[in-house]
Amino acid sequence: MSVNQQAHTGPPYGQPQPGYQGYQQPAYGGQSLPGVPQSQYGAYNGPMPGYQQPVPPQGYFPSLGFPSKGSPVSLNSDTSLAPNFIGSLRAPPTSGAPPPASGASHPSGHLAYSPFEHGDVQNGIPASAAPMQRPPASQPFLPGSAPTPVSQISTFQQYGPPPASVQQLRNHMAGMTIGSTAASAPPPAGLGYGVGPSSYPPTTGAPRPPAMPGPPLTGQTVAGPPSSQPNHVSSPPPPSSMAGLHPGTPMSGLHGPPPPTHPPQPGYQMQQNGSFGQMRGPQPNYGGAYPGAPNYGSPPGPPPPPKRLDPDSIPSPIQVIEDDRNNRGSEPFVTGVRGQVPPLVTTNFLVKDQGNASPRYIRCTSYNIPCTSDMAKQSQVPLAAVIKPLATLPPEETLPYLVDHGESGPVRCNRCKAYMCPFMQFIEGGRRFQCCFCSCVTEVPPHYFQHLDHTGKRVDFYDRPELSLGSYEFLATVDYCKNNKFPSPPAFIFMIDVSYNAVKSGLVRLICEELKSLLDYLPREGNMEESAIRVGFVTYNKVLHFYNVKSSLAQPQMMVVSDVADMFVPLLDGFLVNVNESRTVIASLLDQIPEMFADTRETETVFAPVIQAGLEALKAAECAGKLFIFHTSLPIAEAPGKLKNRDDRKLINTDKEKTLFQPQTSFYNNLAKDCVAQGCCVDLFLFPNQYLDVATLGVVPYQTGGSIYKYAYFQLETDQYRFLNDLRRDVQKEVGFDAVMRVRTSTGIRATDFFGAFYMSNTTDVEMAGLDCDKTITVEFKHDDKLSEDSGALLQCALLYTSCAGQRRLRIHNLSLNCCTQLADLYRNCETDTLINYLAKYAYRGVLNSPVKTVRDALINQCAQILACYRKNCASPSSAGQLILPECMKLLPVYLNCVLKSDVLQPGPEVTTDDRAYIRQLVTSMDVAETNVFFYPRLLPLTKADVDSDSLPAAIRNSEERLSKGDIYLLENGLNVFVWVGVSVQQGLIQNLFGVSSFSQISNALSTLPVLENPFSKKVRSIVDMIQGQRSRYMKLIIVKQEDKLEMLFKHFLVEDKSLSGGASYVDFLCHMHKEIRQLLS
Ligand SMILES: [Zn+2]
């Protein structure tokens, strides 16, 4: 049972750098446990950043927002701080030598952690312009260079011969032409898409529902294609015929969907799909394929002769990913140039910080922003940044340095309070600086003064992270702390449901066993001997049990609170303790808990009082912290926050569907607010056997920056491994407490909307009781003035937080973007993965207030407008029937379709209300890599894996036609990992992988692959482990045999195919998007 057998070893990356951050390696994170995957890439499973500054015990206070009052740039108070003082402790020296981190105090042998050891490349912005990684974004647009006509894409395909010729595709697309050519000619400039030129009043469709927050959909029609387009009636052939009717196509043993409802039509030649030789399955019943799209399924009038769109000729995610890997994976991404689009999230690349934040911290939907708001509205491209302030970095990259500006705190602009950064302009010989955000001129504090060189740059430029790097940290002064008191180290409180189900399933015993060892791996800073975090324990069913585990006690003491209506903590001394001091008492408690409740008959639970108890305990201890709550059932016991079962699947596809996503009482919203004020973050582990209302129980975790994990029908044998892995990672991961984030922007744009797990009490400050290394905040920007191409646009994200040792810090990330007056420049510098991250979050928030269909239609409409704007303004003249996509957005249709088909927006019959609420909250905090694989899962042919190489087999597209019944595949989406076995797989392979002699003997009850001593088994297990290590949650392994019942579940993730819940196939959806675009253009 005790999985944690390994002794805690020292940080493998060497000692932390005195004066700067260390890099502590928690044992769980970086070492292989039995079967615990080790990441090839440190970002997820690798070392977690720690900090080594010893921290004084500190107090606390409630504050909302940044203490702007607290950081005046004093001209007088710090005169005693001569410049060289700065070099003595944490700040870099003022000489040209490397900063202290890599200087005398830096232990030799661990140089890899200093960015200053990589020479000038990583040492801030070089005097000369950094090498350009790609053509400057501002370079004039060359017609024809950027657009990707679908008809040319086949040259990039890896599967099969270049099938449908260019002419064939043109013919096909021409077949979709609506009305006359005159009607499809681009409308005069300024007319837009039949709506107003810049403000886009919705002249056709229904007005945007007020419930859909956020501006990007401004003015768009939400009710589907404009009804004023008479021509659409004569439109497209039934997609079923286009999408996959293959007369006489053998199905190769795959169980495809039922036969098409239309008789087979002669169309294009059916085609082989490259190495897998499978035919595309039929896509029957087009009408049902896309219920969300009016006018789509049942085109009036006789359909024209059907033609088939070749799946190999449409943009392939696999090819785009592969091309980016090949083109950009070998060179480091150097951040010295403004507005550079980073490599895709699926590309492995190193980042060298030369003045802009790494894309691991910030990714943008576009790196070239329209200069005017009219232009932005015309394009409909949302301007958003996906920010992961505490992202884990791979070991090869340097953590942000910690900078100490002394007693007066970080140097900031007097007016807008922006923090010192590489874009500030020093003037008057260095005595003042002009703010890059608001242009205000501020005196340089005497202790910060430095001379300028002949280029106007401070001579200590390279020695100061805040002048030369995109990301760094400041040590915060007491002014940045609640009540002007330094905070105490945070506390963790473990709160275990001991009702009948929890005990009977073995969960209680499992948790207690695990905690005995896990408590030795609480987050620590740098080289600290032990964690500063104190721990406490509560168990509960209808009542709460508190435990006194004071070190002086021989045995733990239990105190029961049965009055849950007004929760209080019955003991202060002895509740929160140091693990080492109370080790024996804690061990005794964890031994006793499973015994104490072994015979319980209590089935009812409370929930809100549990959170209240944790909150009160943290209040009493005057610290921030995290509650780890392990909960099994709907809290129906009489208590505040009591819930009833209000699940009702009949509400799906009605106007009341939104209520399924809303909490059933506002009680938890108020509780969440109190928790945030105290810095009480809640992580919730759910083990439901039936509906327990995730939408309501999730409110507090969600708004406090916490996480929710869900293990439905938890079974000890099959699920404990996954749960324990999640728990270990959750307890150990880097987390900041009592966090406030603000994003400042240069004049012309401002942050207007925010998505993620947090609380906001005003319009600018994102508050999180806890923020861990996996959590992402998506921020949308709007114009409030004109931007200029010369100065570009700047973002500064400042996160104020308390470290795991109680140190108050500011983490700063800066990013500079280009600005453009040509739409083509915008479309050449977009990042579709980030765009999808934003759109998914926007839509997933929309379902709280609007019917799901409205949300889906709005998404389609916005994307059609984005693509139509490109077609009209940027693409070179071509046949009106041709679908032309911007090169860097050519995957927008396929990814958008995946979002539309997702469980939240289009649930299949097997998806529960709790699943949907859970996914909705999960996606809202996902980073770009996570949304990418979540919406378009990775599908790997395991039988093609090279057992002698470390590499993964090349991924294939998510379509049943790509599967061969003679092969075994792996599919993962960040939550589940499937191993699919074809019916004709060689017996030898089955024997090697599953240890059984035939296909029929493979058990799909397996939750792990058997450990067998042969190269194929080893290779497959190492692939699974590697992939597990790249994800922030341990994925559930599901074995799927072809033609087995479970295959339905698996097929749900073959997202290029028509889905059982009615989602369109990629081919069909592309045709639909094309039609929408043409309607907008005509
Ligand atoms: Zn300013």
Please state, in angstroms and rounded to a whole number, the distance separating the CA atoms of residues 38 and 44. Answer: 9
Ranges 79-88, 426-435, 621-630: which has the least confidence: 79-88
Residue 817: alpha-carbon gap to chain centroid: 22
**Dist. CA 72 → ligand 1 center (Å):** 13
pLDDT at position 268 is: 30
Rounded distance from Cα 350 to ligand 1 centre (Å): 32
Eight-class DSSP state of 1015: H
Strands of the sheet containing 938-941, edge to edge, are 938-941, 968-972, 976-981, 1036-1041
What integer is the mean pLDDT of 851-875?
A: 95
pLDDT band for position 361 (50/70/90)?
very high
pLDDT, residue 106, reads 36
pLDDT at 950 over 70: yes
Those residues whose beta carbon sits under 5 angstroms from the ion ligand 1 are 413, 415-416, 418, 435, 437-438, 440
Q: Is the pLDDT of residue 897 over 50?
A: yes
Closest C-alpha among 794, 790, 791, 802 to residue 705:
802
Centre of ligand 1 to C-alpha 797, Å, is: 14
For ligand 1, the distance from its centroid to the CA atom of residue 414, given in whole angstroms, is: 6
Write down the number of H helices and E strands in the chain. Answer: 28, 29
**Is the confidence at residue 156, as pLDDT, over 80?**
no
Residues in the chain: 1082
- Give the number of other CB atoms < 10 A from CB of residue 300: 10
| pLDDT mean over 876-885 | 81
pLDDT at 624: 97
b (16+ CB within 10 A) / e for 367-405: bbbbbbbebbbbbbbbbbbbbbbbbbbbbebbbbbbbbb
Closest to 308 in 3D by CA, of 245, 234, 232? 245
Torsion of CA 290, 292, 293, 299, to 10 degrees: 60
Residue 180 CB: number of other CB atoms within 10 A? 11
Whole-number Å distance, alpha carbon 815 to ligand 1 midpoint, is: 15
Kindly tell me the sign of the dihedral angle through the C-alpha atoms of 264, 266, 268, 273.
positive
pLDDT of residue 308: 63
Query: How much distance in Å is there from the Cα of 487 to the middle of ligand 1?
Result: 28
Q: Which range is most confident: 95-109, 143-157, 551-565?
A: 551-565
Tokens of 354: 């030369």
**What is the 8-class DSSP label of residue 950?**
S
Instruction: State the Cα–Cα distance between residues 543 and 566, nearest whole angstrom.
Output: 12
| Residue 505 vs residue 227, higher pLDDT | 505
Task: Specify whether the CB–CB gap between 471 and 811 falls below 8 A.
Answer: yes
CA of 415 to the centre of ligand 1 (A): 5
The Å distance, Cα 129 to ligand 1 centre, comes to: 25
Q: Is residue 66's pLDDT more than 60?
A: no
Question: 67 CA to middle of ligand 1, Å?
Answer: 16
**Phi, psi of 697, rounded to the nearest 5 degrees:** -65, -25
Report residue 165's pLDDT band, with 50, 70 and 90 as the boundaries.
very low
pLDDT tens for residues 525-541? 877 888 999 999 999 99
**Residue predicted with more confidence, 826 or 298:** 826
pLDDT (0 to 100) of residue 527: 76
Average pLDDT of the segment spanning 290-314: 53
DSSP string, 876-919: PS--TT--EEEGGGTTHHHHHHHHHTSTTTS--TT--HHHHHHH
* Contact yes or no for 975/1033 (Cβ under 8 A): yes
Determine the pLDDT at residue 252: 30
Of 874 and 297, more confident: 874
Angstrom CA distances, 437 to 413, 433, 740, stand at: 9, 12, 20
> If you average pLDDT over residues 907-911, what whole number do you get?
88
For the stretch 552-567, pLDDT in tens is 999 999 999 999 998 9
Residue 353: pLDDT over 70: yes
| β pairing state of 680-686 and 625-631 | parallel
Instruction: Tell me how crowded residue 305 is: count the other CB atoms within 10 A of its CB.
Output: 10
3-class SS of residue 184: helix
CA dist 461 to 20, 109, 118, 450, 531, Å?
18, 26, 16, 9, 36
For residues 361-377, give the mean pLDDT: 97
Mean pLDDT of the chain: 78
Measure the CA dihedral 292/294/295/297, to 10°: 30
Give pLDDT, residue 307: 58
What tens digit of pLDDT does each residue of 637-663 get? 999 999 999 999 899 999 999 999 999
**812 CA → ligand 1 middle, Å:** 15
> From the CA of 375, how far away is ligand 1's center (Å)?
26
